[in-house]
Structure 1
Amino acid sequence: MAAVEGWEDVPAQVRRRHAELATEIEEHRVRYYEQDAPIVSDAEFDSLMRELEALEAEHPALVTPDSPTQKVGGGAAEGFTKVEHRERLLSLDNAMDDGELAAWADRVARELDGIDYHYLCELKVDGLAVNLTYEHGRLTLAATRGTGRVGEDITANIRTIKEIPQQLKGDDLPALVEIRGEVYLPTEAFEELNASFAAENERRKAENEERAKEGKRPQALLKLFANPRNAAAGSLRQKDPLVTASRPLHMVVHGIGAREGFVIDCQSHAYQLLRDWGLPTAKHNEVVGTLDEVRAFIKQYGEQRHSVEHEIDGVVVKVDEIALQGRLGSTSKSPRWAIAWKYPPEEVTAKLASIKVGIGRTGRATPYAVLAEPVKVAGSMVQYATLHNQQVVKAKGVLLGDTVVLRKAGDVIPEILGPVEDLRDGTEQEFVMPSHCHECGSELRPMSEGDIDLRCPNAEFCPAQIRERIAYLGGRESLDIEGLGYVAATALTQPLEPADAPVKNEGDIFGLTVEQLLPIRVLVRDPKTGMPKLDDATGEEREVAFFANLKGQPKKNTTVLLDNLAGAKERQLWRYLNGLSIRHVGPVAAQAVAREFRDLDRIFAASEEELAAVEGVGPIIAKAIVEWYQEDWHREILRKWREAGVRFVEEAPEEEGERPLEGLTVVVTGTLAGHTRDGAKEALVVRGAKVTGSVSKKTDFVVVGDNPGSKYDKAVQLGLPVLDDAGFAVLLESGPAAARAHLGLPTGEEEPAEVTTEGADQG
C-alpha cells in the first residue's frame, strides 16, 4: 500500500501489528475459501478481524483498499477456470451480541427516519456460497464466491444437483439474472457419508493386511470430512462431476444479483418469484416489523438449531424493501441493510494431556493443546486446539492436566476458552514455554521490538522451518506442485545417513533427480496417534521407501513430482515471490509487487521507498523484502532457481488496457433503474474510477437514483455534477467530457461558474 497522509504519525508498533494481522487474516482466508481447510475457528477469525478494525478505527491512515477490512472472502482456488461475477458478492457484518444487533437496527432507523420498513429474518446456512447465472431462463454458469469479484467455474458439478433447475419455469423469464445461495450437505447425510467412508476404511485395512503379506502396495484410506461445510465444498470442487453427483448435495437460494428485464419491490416477494421459477428457496423465513420480533426469531432457532436439516451458525436479518436497501447502500465489503447474528459457538469440556510447540515456516513458535482423548465438538472429532502464544496460555490460566472448555464453530481446530477450576485436584502443573527450538536447539526470541511471538532465528538450518517452507512452496497459494505436499516435504528434507538431505532449502527443489529421490525412506506411522509403528519381529521402527517400489524402481509419485517441478518453472511471478516465505509477504502483497515490477530481479533491486510506493504494499512489507534479499543464502536460492531455468520475468496481461475514468472520484446513491448499486460501482471501478461513500469538494460526479438521501442534497449544496441513469450511461460509454456536456457544463479543465442539475432525476 502506498504511504498515505498521517502514516508517519501511526506508532511503529501499531503499524507492525496491523501488518501482522492483515497477513494472518489473508492466510486464513486462503485456507477457508480456497483449500476448504481452515485452522482457526470462526470466533478466532472474527477476533482477529475485529482487532484489525479497531486499529484502523483509531488510526484511519492504516485503511487502504487492500486491507482485509475492505475486501470480501478469499481468492479463487486453483484447478478451476476463473470467472468474473457480473455483480460483486458481498459478505455480511456480524453481530455477536444483542448490543451490536441493536446498534445496527438503530443506524437503520436513523437513516430511514419516517419511512415504513420491515425486517426479513432467515437462517444463516453453513455451506458454500454459490452464484448461478440464468440467461433467458437457462443455466449458463455456476461459480463459487471466490474474491467476491472472481470465483471458480463449477457449472458441470452444479448441474448434478437435482433440485437446481437447468431451465427456469414460466413464460415471462428475464434476459439475465444472477441467483445467490448456499450449497450444503444435510447433517444426517454428512454423518452417513462419513460412516460409509469409515466402513470402507475398515474393509481396506483388513484387505491391506493380506496385501502386505503378498508384497503388494496397500490401498490408500479415505479421508473423513471434518464437518458438513467442508464436505459440501470438497464435493463441489471435485474434478469429476460423477463424484459430485454421488453426494447428496442441496441448495438454498437467498438473493438476487445482477438482473435485466424485471423489477422486485421486496426481497421476501422475490423469494416467491424464485419459487415460481422452480428454485429451492429457504423454508425458515419470516417478515417482521420490530426488533423484538427479530429477537424472538433468533431465540427460537437458537433453541432449535439442531432440528434444522442443515448446519446453521446464525440468523441473517435484512431490510426487506429493495428500494430501501439501495438507499442504505453498502461499505466496500458489506451491505448496510443486512447483518448476521452469530450464535455462540458450541462448547465442550475435555482433559488436557499436554501442550506442545510447533515451529512455523517463518520461525514462529506456536503452542497447541493436545487432548487426552479426541472429543466430538460441532460435528467433528478433534484432539488439538490452538493456544496462539505463551502469553495467551498464561492469560487463559490453563495448566497441564486441566479439564478445559473447548469452543468450536464448525472449523478444524478449536480454541480453548479456559480451565474448569472446580475440577482441579492439585496435580496440575504450569506450562513453561520452551526456551529453545526443539528441532534445531536455537534459542527462541522475539525478532523485533514489540513482538509478542517468540521465533526460532535459525531460518537457514532449522529442520522445522525448512520443512514448513518447502511444503508451503508446493502448496496452492504458491507454486501448486502436485506431489510436493507436507509428507513429501518431510521426506525430502530429512538427512539420509551418511549423506545430507536432498533438499537443504528452497534452492534445491528444481534440481532434484531420480537418483536423489530413490534412497529416501520414511517411518511408518500410526494414523491415529502419529507415532512410529514397530516391526513385529525386531521391535525397531518400521521404514519404507517413499519414492521407490519394492524393486527399487521409481514410484508414480516420483514421476509426478519431477514432471510438475519442471512445469513449475513457468508459473506466475507472484507465486515465486510468495513461495519464498518472506515475513509479512502473503499472496495479496506478492501479486501487487509482481504486477508493478514484472521481474523478480527488479523486485529485489528496488529500494524500500520504491517498494513501499506500490499500492497494497507499504513500508513494513517493503523493508521485509529488502532485508530478505540481504542474506547471502537467500540470494543463493535465487541463483539456483535461475540456473535451473525458472522464469523470473513475465509480460503484462493483454487485458490491462485503457481505463477511461482513471482519476475520477464518483459517488453513487439511491436506486438506479438500469443498474443495481453494486453493479454501478463495478462498472465504474473496472473503468478506473474511484468510488467513495461520501460527497466532498473532490468528488467529480454524483450518480443518483430513486431515494438518494442526503448525498444528493450535499451534491447540490456543493455545486457538483449530478447524473441520472441517462447521464450515467453517457459517462460509462463516452467518458467524463461527454457526461459534462450531457449536463450542459463546460468540458474543459476550468471550473464552471454555475452548476445545474438539468436532466438529473432528483428522486
Structure 2
Amino acid sequence: MSDPAQRAEELRQHLRRHDHAYYVLAQPTISDLDYDRLLRELSDLEAQHPELYRSDSPTQRVGDAPVDHLTQVDHVVPMLSIDNTYSREELAAYFEKTEKQLPDEKIQWVMEFKIDGVAASIVYTEGQLTMGLTRGNGAVGDDITHNIRTIRDLPLKLIGDAVPGTLEVRGEAYMTNADLADLNKRQVAAGQDPYKNTRNVTAGSLRQLDPSVAADRNLRFFAHGIGQVDGLKATNHMDFLAEIAAMGIPATPNVQCFDSAADTLKAVAALEEAMPDLSFEVDGIVFKVNDFAQREKLGIRSKSPRWLIAYKFERYEAITTLESISVQVGKTGAITPVAHLAPVDIADTTVSRASLHNADEIERLDVRVGDVVVVEKAGKIIPKVVRVEKHRREKSLRKFQFPTHCPECSTELVRDEGGVFIRCLNPVCPAQLKQKLIFFGSRTGMDIDGLGEEVVELLLARGLVKDYPDLYHLDADQLASQDWLKQRKGKDGKLIDVQVGKRNAKKLIDGIHASKTRGLAQLLSSLTIRQVGRTVSRLVTAKYPTLESLKSASVEQLADIDEIGDIIAKNLHGFLHSAYGEQLMDAFQQAGLDLFVEVQQTSEEDLPLSGKTLVVTGTLHHYKRDEIKQLILDMGGRASGSVSKNTDYLVAGEKAGSKLTKAESLGVKVLTEEQFRDLVNKD
C-alpha cells in the first residue's frame, strides 16, 4: 500500500491541475464523477490521518467553520476607484489629455472588459493564499478570506517554485448567468425568493459569515490589477497578466494592447460585439496605460488614478417568453440559432428576436421553447438572452435539438475543428448563395451597382442565377420582362405586378460588366472564403499577382507571407484547389473577368487620402458605415472615431450632431457625402 502522505500529495496535485483546467482554461480534463472520486479519496485520507491536513488542500474549498463577524483590515496599497465616461468623445478627450502629460513618450493602451462583479483583493504570501479583502472605503476593507477560499478558480497555492514573496492581485468576484439560473431554481424549490442579478448575489455571498454559503454558489474570480508586491518580474500590465496566469490565477479575458489611442478607439466596437458571447455580465470597458513606470509619472487624483478610465454604458433588460427557436444559414455556412420572443420593450425599442449564437450557447443556458428568459441590451447594442428563469419553468420542456442537416439543402452539418460553429459545407447551398450574392454585389465586394437584396431574391426565385458566374451571362431583355417578387401599389392604391423594366435591367447589366475589371484581389475578397478579406487578398496577390501563380503557391509559401499564417493559407489554398473552386475560377475566366492585379500599383503617397485622418458622422445615403471606413483605408487615409485638432476632414451626413459642432469649433474641414465622393474619385 502506498504511503498515505505521498498519496495525499499526489491527489492534491491532480485536483489542482483539474481545477485549473476546468475553471481557468475552460478545458475539462476529467469527468465530474471521476473528479468527485478523487476528492472523496483525499477527504477520507485527511480524515483518517489528521496530521495530513493542509490549509491549501482542495478539500478545504467547502469552507471552514463560520466566523463570528467580519473584521476590518487596512489596505497596504489603497484600492482606488475608477473615473467613468459615457461617450466616445469624452473617451477620446481623456486619451488626448493623458498623452499631453507625457509629451515625449509613446503610450501603449490596454483595453479590457469591465466585469460587473464585486471588487476584491487577494493576497498570496510565499505562494499561499493568506487573505481576501473587500474594497471597503478604499483604505479599509472587510476580511472575507474564509469566502474567497471557496472560489475554485483561485489557487490556494500558486503554481511553480519561483513565486513572489508577496503578491496582491485585485479583481472582480462574479457569478455566471447560468449559475444564477440554477441558484434561483434551488431558491424557489426551497420556498425562498429568487435573486435579481449576479452582482447582488456575489456581494451578499462574500459577506456571509458561513463560508459554506459562498461555496454553494460557485463564485468565480478574474484578476485585473496589482496591489502590494515583492518579487514580481512584470514591468507592464500585459506582462503582469501573463505572469499571474502562469501561476494559476485567472486573468481578465479578451485583453488587448494597442500602440496608439487612435487604434484603441477603432477597436472598441469589436470588443462590444464580443459581449453577447460572454457567460458573465460586463458594464463597460476599461482603458489603462500599459507601462508601470508611466503610471507612476501620471500619478493619482484624490480618489482615482490618472492612468485609467472606464467607458461605461447603461444596461437595459426585460423578462419575456421564448416562443420558438429557428436557425439561419449565413454566407459562410455557419448555422445560427435565433430566439423568437414575445415582443417586449427594451431601451425604447420593441425586441422580438435575439441571437442565441451557437449550439454551445443553447446548451450553456439550457434554454428551451416556452421558457421565461431575461433579455438584455447593453449600450443599446444587439439584444441577447442572458439567462433562463428556471424557477419559473412550470412543466417539463423539451430540450432544443440542433439540426444535423442544413435546413435549406439537407447537407450534413459539420462542426468546426476545435471551434463552436456548426456549418453547412455545401458551397451552392441556396441559403448561403443569397447572402453570398448580396455581399458579392456590395461596395465591400465587387461593387456591382443595382445588385441589391431585392434583385438577388428575384434572380434566385426565377432561376436566372445559380452561382456567381451566372451573373455575367444575364440577358437584359429577359431580366427586364420579369415581374418583381413584391407587388407595387397602382394609382388606385391596389397592389399590382410590375416588371423590372429596361432601365433597371440596363443598370444591373452595366454594373456587372464594370465589375469584370475589379481584378483578382477584389474578386477573392468577394467570394466569402473563410478569413480571406480585402487585406489578405491584397497581401497574397501582391506576391502572386495572377491566378496561375497564386494556384502554384503551396500552403507553406502562402503562410510565409506576413500576416497570413497557417489557417488562412490552408483556407485559401483549399478553396483554390477544391473541385468547386477550380470550376468557379474557370467560369470567371471564361466570362471575361480580369484574374490578375496590376504589377505597377499606385503608391501609397499617390492615393487621394494619403496621410489624412477622417471622421465620419451622421446618416449617410451612399455608404454603410463599414463601407466608407474601408474606402478611407483603401484611399490611404485613417478612419478615426473622434474629432480632434489632428482631424483633416469630417464627413458629415444628416443629423451629424456633436462631432460636427466640435469640428467647426476646431476649424476642421467639413465635407458633405458628395464632396467626399468627389475627393476620392478625383483621379
TM-score above 0.5, yes or no:
no
Q: TM-score, normalised by structure 1?
A: 0.40
Larger radius of gyration: 2
Q: TM-score, normalised by structure 2?
A: 0.44
Bigger relative contact order, structure 1 or 2, given CA contacts below 8 A and separation 6+? 1
